[in-house]
């Protein structure tokens, strides 16, 4: 089950990013700051809750392509909660959102 979980594209990408960051830290390329890791973790949960509560559970949109997107991003997960491909966000949505969040984080904290 854990292997199936880790093979999902979004989870695999996040694990690869953590591994890359750890290697960069081990080789002295980057310095990890525990306070910023804690802030990042807290912001992740705040962002996760906000997206889930206000975006993914927003009322269905009237424009069919947007409504289809809402179904793919979250509504269908509640219809079939055991489907792993619906449990996690697709990479085409996750990667740009993580890049945007990382950019905002860097701007806010001057990194
Ligand atoms: Zn939900």
Domain count, the chain: 1
Supply the pTM of this predicted model: 0.69
Residue-level length of the chain: 111
- Residue 85 domain flag: yes
CA distance 101 to 93: 12
- Residue 9 domain flag: no
Per-residue pLDDT tens over the stretch 5-62: 787 777 888 889 899 999 999 999 998 889 988 988 898 899 889 989 999 999 999 9
CA distance 12 to 7: 6
- Residue 75 domain flag: yes
Per-residue pLDDT tens over the stretch 54-66: 999 999 999 999 9
- Residue 88 domain flag: yes
- Dig out the tokens for 35 from the structure: 């306070």
Centre of ligand 1 from the C-alpha of residue 100, in Å: 22
Per-residue pLDDT tens over the stretch 74-102: 999 999 998 888 888 888 988 898 899 88
Centre of ligand 1 from the C-alpha of residue 22, in Å: 32
- Residue 6 domain flag: no
- Residue 91 domain flag: yes
- Residue 83 domain flag: yes
- Residue 53 domain flag: yes
Domain that holds residue 85: 33-109
> For residue 86, how many other CB atoms are within 10 A of its CB?
19
Pure H helices in the chain: 2-7, 9-26, 34-50, 64-70, 76-79, 84-87, 91-109
Centre of ligand 1 from the C-alpha of residue 85, in Å: 15
Q: What separation in angstroms does the CA of 24 have from each of 19, 29, 106?
A: 9, 5, 18
């Amino acid at each position: 089950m854990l292997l199936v979980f880790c093979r999902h594209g979004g989870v695999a990408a996040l694990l690869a990013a953590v591994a890359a960051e750890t290697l960069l830290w081990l080789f002295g390329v980057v310095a990890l700051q525990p306070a910023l890791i804690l802030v990042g973790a807290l912001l992740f949960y705040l962002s996760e809750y906000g997206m889930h509560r206000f975006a993914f559970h927003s009322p269905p949109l009237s424009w069919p392509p947007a409504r289809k997107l809402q179904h793919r991003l979250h509504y269908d997960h509640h219809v079939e909660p055991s489907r792993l491909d619906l449990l996690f966000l697709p990479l085409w949505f996750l990667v740009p959102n993580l890049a945007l969040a990382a950019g905002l984080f860097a701007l806010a904290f001057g990194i």
